[in-house]
């Protein structure tokens, strides 16, 4: 059973699924994402794999009869996909070749184009959870895509604020972010022709890192061959730099933010929004976790335990070391 439950205090929806709690524990010597598992092709490089226990589906079950006119329920419509980055169970993302990562980017493109043809879908978010520190149980290199039929609250806020800023100033808010970071310089990690990588002034996590497209790109639909190449290189270099910060696997939550789909209320999105990637690494030290506690959870008021300019310098040093070592 899966359903959406309405939160009238926030004008938002919570995904509820009893079935996901029944997911079986995999044998320690078995991985369904490995080529010899019987669950995936015997030979692949990157692959879209439909989630075996989706919380959203295009044929959702009837919601439980537990709601009311006030406590509304709705169908858990959408799509949950797993994106396999590599057949190598223990592989590191940055050890993949440039050409291999470009195939992954093109798979993300393909899935975006396909999922947006479903007119019920409003937002498509590729994401990745890496490391036991963020609850990952499958170490095989992979990410996921959620296609939502309800606009997520964070995106509603980002899009509204971006739209309001554009109406007030005529400027894309991401161009202003880039301008501010370039003026200060100390929070920028690196950049190439298409993307700039920096720790934002307002970071909630010590190593929270943004990748922002420089040009008027708001989704994978706008990518050229050059953008694909530059994005693949950016991901390869940044993920490698992360592991060099503490010379160990660096956990993170990563999400790719794009324009909404099938949402005419966001007409002109190319003018006010921009394709970007946000990394939320939970580490505040080599062996210390930055937890979301009462203030973060109850009030959404985050407290960053470290000065962003200091952690940016640490990540920049790690980036230089990773580049120097090839």
How many Cβ atoms from other residues are within 10 Å of residue 321's Cβ?
14
Each residue of 67-101: pLDDT tens digit?
A: 999 999 999 999 999 999 999 999 999 999 999 99
CA 177 centroid distance within chain: 19
Give yes or no for a contact between 67 and 123, defined as CB atoms under 8 angstroms apart: no
CATH class of the region 2-324:
alpha beta
Provide the percentage of residues in the chain whose pLDDT is more than 90: 93
pLDDT for position 25 = 61
| Mean pLDDT within 96-112 | 98
pLDDT for position 56 = 97
Q: Is 100 a catalytic residue?
A: no
Give yes or no for a contact between 219 and 155, defined as CB atoms under 8 angstroms apart: no
pTM (2 decimals)? 0.96
Instruction: Give DSSP secondary structure letters for 45-98.
Output: SSEEEE-SS-SSBSSPPPPPTT--SSS-EE--BEEEEEEE--S-TT--GGGS-H
Q: What is the band of 28 on the pLDDT scale with cuts at 50, 70, 90? A: confident
Q: Is the pLDDT of residue 19 over 80?
A: no
Q: Which two tokens stand for residue 248?
A: 């160990």
Catalytic option among 89, 140, 142, 302: 142
The residues spanned by each domain of the chain are: 2-324
Each residue of 125-135: pLDDT tens digit?
A: 999 999 999 99
Provide the percentage of residues in the chain whose pLDDT is more than 70: 97
pLDDT for position 18 = 73
Q: What is the band of 105 on the pLDDT scale with cuts at 50, 70, 90? A: very high
Give yes or no for a contact between 75 and 58, defined as CB atoms under 8 angstroms apart: no
Q: What is the band of 24 on the pLDDT scale with cuts at 50, 70, 90? A: low
Q: What is the band of 22 on the pLDDT scale with cuts at 50, 70, 90? A: low
Q: Is the pLDDT of residue 20 over 60?
A: no
pLDDT for position 230 = 98
Each residue of 30-58: pLDDT tens digit?
A: 999 999 899 999 999 999 999 999 999 99
């Amino acid at each position: 059973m899966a359903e959406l439950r309405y939160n009238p205090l926030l004008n938002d929806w919570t995904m509820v699924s009893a079935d996901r709690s029944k997911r079986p524990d995999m044998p320690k010597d078995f991985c369904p994402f490995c080529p010899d598992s019987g669950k995936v092709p015997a030979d692949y490089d990157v692959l879209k794999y439909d989630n075996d226990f989706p919380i959203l589906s295009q044929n959702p079950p009837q919601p439980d009869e537990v709601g009311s006119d006030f406590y509304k329920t709705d169908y858990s419509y959408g799509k949950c996909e797993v994106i396999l980055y590599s057949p190598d169970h223990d592989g590191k993302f940055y050890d993949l070749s440039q050409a291999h990562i470009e195939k992954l980017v093109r798979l993300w493109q393909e899935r975006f184009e396909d999922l947006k043809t479903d007119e019920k879908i409003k937002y498509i978010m590729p994401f990745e959870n890496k490391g036991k520190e963020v609850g990952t149980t499958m170490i095989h290199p992979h990410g996921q895509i959620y296609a939502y039929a309800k606009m997520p609250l964070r995106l509603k806020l980002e899009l509204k604020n971006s739209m309001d800023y554009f109406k007030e100033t005529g400027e894309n808010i991401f161009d202003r972010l880039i301008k501010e970071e370039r003026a200060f310089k100390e929070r920028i990690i690196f950049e190439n022709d298409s993307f700039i990588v920096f720790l934002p002034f307002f970071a909630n996590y010590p190593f929270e890192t943004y990748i922002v497209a420089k040009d008027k790109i708001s989704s994978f639909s706008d990518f050229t061959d050059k953008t694909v190449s530059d994005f693949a290189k950016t991901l390869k270099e940044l993920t490698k730099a992360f592991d060099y910060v503490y010379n160990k696997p660096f956990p993170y939550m990563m999400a790719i933010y794009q324009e909404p789909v099938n949402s005419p209320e966001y007409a002109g999105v190319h003018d006010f929004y921009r394709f970007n990637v946000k990394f939320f690494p939970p580490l505040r030290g080599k062996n210390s976790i930055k937890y979301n506690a009462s203030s973060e959870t109850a009030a959404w008021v985050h407290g960053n335990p470290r000065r962003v300019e200091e952690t940016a310098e640490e990540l920049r040093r790690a980036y230089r070391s990773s580049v120097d070592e090839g």
